[in-house]
Structure 1
Amino acid sequence: MGSSSNVAGFADGSSAHTEFKYIDRVPIFVKELIAGGAAGAFAKTAVAPLERTKILLQTRTQGFHSLGVYDSLKKLVKHEGVAGFYKGNGASVIRIVPYAAIHFMTYEQYRLWILDNHPGLGTGPVVDLLAGSVAGGTAVLCTYPLDLARTKLAYQIVDTRESVQNRARQFNANHAYSGIRNVMERVYRDGGVRALYRGIGPTMIGILPYAGLKFYVYEELKRNVPEEHQNSILMRLSCGALAGLFGQTFTYPLDVVRRQMQVEHLQHSSQGGVIYRSTSEGLVSIVSNQGWRQLFAGLSINYIKIVPSVAIGFTAYDMIKAWLNIPPRQKSKANSAA
Structure 2
Amino acid sequence: MGSSQESTFSSASAAAQVNASALDLLPVYAKELIAGGAAGAFAKTAVAPLERVKILLQTRTEGFQSLGILQSLRKLWQYEGVRGFYKGNGASVLRIVPYAALHYMTYEQYRCWILNNFAPSVGSGPVVDLLAGSAAGGTAVLCTYPLDLARTKLAYQVSNVRQPGSALGNSGQQQTYNGIKDVFKTVYKEGGARSLYRGVGPTLIGILPYAGLKFYIYEDLKSRVPEDYKKSVILKLSCGALAGLFGQTLTYPLDVVRRQMQVQSKQPQNSSDGFRIRGTFQGLLLIIRCQGWRQLFAGLSLNYVKVVPSVAIGFTTYDMMKTLLGVPPRERAHASGANK
- Please give the TM-score of this superposition, normalised by the length of structure 2: 0.92
Cα distance in 2, alignment partners of residues 188 and 270 from structure 1: 24
Cα distance in 2, alignment partners of residues 160 and 292 from structure 1: 28
Q: Pairwise mapping of residues 135-150 of structure 1 onto structure 2 (< 5 A)? A: 135-150=136-151
Assess, with a 3 A threshold, how the Cα gap between structure 1 residues 110 and 163 changes in structure 2: closer, same or farther. Answer: closer
**Residue 333 of structure 1: how far off its partner (Å):** 4.8
CA-based RMSD of the aligned residues comes to 2.1
Contact 1:238 1:311 in 2 (8 A): yes
Cα distance in 2, alignment partners of residues 271 and 43 from structure 1: 37
Q: Which digits, 9 at most, give the CA deviation of each residue in 1:241-260, with x for residues without a partner?
A: 00000100000000000000
**Residue 60 of structure 1: how far off its partner (Å):** 0.1
Contact 1:98 1:143 in 2 (8 A): yes
| 2:225 aligned residue | 225
Cα distance in 2, alignment partners of residues 161 and 187 from structure 1: 25
Cα distance in 1, alignment partners of residues 287 and 105 from structure 2: 36
Contact 2:269 2:275 in 1 (8 A): no
Contact 1:268 1:274 in 2 (8 A): no
Structure 2 residue identity aligned to 1:102? L
* Segment of structure 1 superposing worse, 69-78 or 29-38: 69-78
Q: Which digits, 9 at most, give the CA deviation of each residue in 1:150-180, with x for residues without a partner?
A: 000000111189656x78xx79522110000
Matched, 1:195 2:195: yes
Cα distance in 1, alignment partners of residues 181 and 78 from structure 2: 27
| 1:4 aligned residue | none
Contact 2:163 2:172 in 1 (8 A): no
Contact 2:239 2:312 in 1 (8 A): yes
SS in 2 for 1:23: helix
* Segment of structure 1 superposing worse, 323-332 or 299-308: 323-332
Q: Pairwise mapping of residues 1-338 of structure 1 onto structure 2 (< 5 A)? A: 10-11=10-11, 13-120=13-120, 121-159=122-160, 163=164, 172-269=172-269, 271=271, 273-330=274-331, 333-336=334-337, 337=339
Structure 2 residue identity aligned to 1:33? L
| 1:3 aligned residue | none
Cα distance in 2, alignment partners of residues 12 and 21 from structure 1: 14
Unaligned runs of 5+ in 1: 1-6
Cα distance in 2, alignment partners of residues 289 and 12 from structure 1: 66
SS in 2 for 1:178: coil
Cα distance in 1, alignment partners of residues 182 and 19 from structure 2: 41
Cα distance in 2, alignment partners of residues 117 and 146 from structure 1: 34
**Residue 8 of structure 1: how far off its partner (Å):** 9.9
Cα distance in 2, alignment partners of residues 189 and 257 from structure 1: 23
Cα distance in 2, alignment partners of residues 97 and 109 from structure 1: 18
**Residue 97 of structure 1: how far off its partner (Å):** 0.3
Contact 1:39 1:314 in 2 (8 A): yes
Assess, with a 3 A threshold, how the Cα gap between structure 1 residues 292 and 214 changes in structure 2: closer, same or farther. Answer: same
SS in 2 for 1:215: helix
Structure 2 residue identity aligned to 1:327? P
Cα distance in 1, alignment partners of residues 41 and 76 from structure 2: 23
* Segment of structure 1 superposing worse, 85-94 or 71-80: 71-80
Contact 1:112 1:331 in 2 (8 A): no
Contact 2:52 2:87 in 1 (8 A): yes
Cα distance in 1, alignment partners of residues 316 and 262 from structure 2: 31
Cα distance in 1, alignment partners of residues 11 and 283 from structure 2: 66
Assess, with a 3 A threshold, how the Cα gap between structure 1 residues 279 and 333 changes in structure 2: closer, same or farther. Answer: same
* Segment of structure 1 superposing worse, 12-21 or 299-308: 12-21
Contact 1:79 1:158 in 2 (8 A): yes
Cα distance in 2, alignment partners of residues 174 and 190 from structure 1: 15
Assess, with a 3 A threshold, how the Cα gap between structure 1 residues 116 and 176 changes in structure 2: closer, same or farther. Answer: same
Assess, with a 3 A threshold, how the Cα gap between structure 1 residues 295 and 156 changes in structure 2: closer, same or farther. Answer: same
Assess, with a 3 A threshold, how the Cα gap between structure 1 residues 270 and 68 changes in structure 2: closer, same or farther. Answer: farther
SS in 2 for 1:276: coil
**Residue 15 of structure 1: how far off its partner (Å):** 3.1
Assess, with a 3 A threshold, how the Cα gap between structure 1 residues 231 and 333 changes in structure 2: closer, same or farther. Answer: closer
Structure 2 residue identity aligned to 1:101? A
